[in-house]
Structure 1
């Protein structure tokens, strides 16, 4: 039996670098040799708190690499191709899948969550999930395609996004900075970015934010009452207080998109909630990054944005580790003194 190195979660704080069998391929799958794998914020509770569906599990869903083996029924790919992959594995037969809404699938699997992922030397992927990458895009850059698609999908939850409008991105993590860049790529130049960490705000400014605001120093609602509310607000931080506050920052008939996951109960004061009614606000959530035909135009657009330079990610990759570093990479994300943004395992 052929073996490979992988990071395996076997319990709370038990992220073990060990040998496990190389995945056996189904007929419709390809085997990808992983070159780079980013750590998503959703991976932290999986590794830190045991927030997994089952043990043991290999996590990691932001990855790139090259195909080293193909299943018997795979015709459209060949060995050696440079690729990334959409981690969602929808059933393709439920009501939502049949209507072109794969992210709403009720019988899905997910690479790096419900089945073994890419914090390993090799990962098995359905061929229909594979997205080819060009030689102009590095493996590290390509490992950022999945979070880019999350940002694109969030923006496109606004049906008639118009250039020349104004926007706020609340939260300056990976998804926040990518959302800001994607808005600019779609012609919205006036994008405010709000956070409490000056280092991240400085990076957002460097990468094109119209204005950055440290919300620990400025009363944000008062600022926009004085300077004018915006057309669109994107909440990417997943902070319950902000998830209420953002409703007060948007113009009447404006749009609010929730991208960040809620970790605590969200309480909305009646006066804030009434703004939805009186302003006829468009309030929506954004879940993952998929559309039809699967995996969706988000994935094509992310590749094009990277290749054209409209989206930059090199400055966002603040820490790189070999896979054998194990939990040290997660500690870099959790230690605020390290000013981490995107932390990545690089296999070579």
Structure 2
């Protein structure tokens, strides 16, 4: 591990000032500390923000939900309001990592975590995300777990977060505090596809601090849930996943929110699936028809072609679980 300075802050203004000077924020440390041990990350300064007052879960004025950036994953999953109003969020959290990590890791840190691509974490391998211009070893290497959606000739690494898939489906926003004050970024714009700049992963500016994730008010009643398909049941990242939220009224689907994980360079919203569901009555045939659109635009690699069909089946299965059949 390389030398670094360490500063602990207790208010947001001090945190922003330290971040503006180039400090890297750390709270639970479940991702950044690992990367530092492996010398993938070499920050010169750490800013400990664990003491900041960002641990509340509250209902917003318009009936949405605000989850503070420093709320631990386990606490968010167990929160009564989260569990009853947005089961898709609590289920995504409970299917993440291990119980020990969920007791330490925060919501803000989770959506900021970096890819689990083995080439990114191997400092001897070519990786444009770690070292721009060095190449992408995954393109010609073993790419079974890599992205089939949103990739580029620079990077095909998947985003590892489960709860980010739920936030993408629900069209959440990220609240930021920085040197120029507060701003809000739609979740769809917060995590960036690699394009020609795979090392730029977030729409976060120097010194900015995540203060909360907000889920907008949804039509009620709302059924929702999260399905994760992986090689083993415990402590494994998704091969595919599906976050589904459906508003049914009078036996008809009036609103649909669907996103996929494990297949995209960012959590992948599925608008074509959503559009196919609106105005129709739940049925086994409808779930299959809608899910056929889940892999639209996919560009599979040598070893992950199976993800195209697996994604469709994952989405169809979760639509059936959440929406039921007649």
TM (normalized to structure 1)? 0.25
Larger gyration radius, structure 1 or structure 2: 1
TM (normalized to structure 2)? 0.27
User: Between Structure 1 and Structure 2, which shows a larger proportion of strand residues?
Assistant: 1
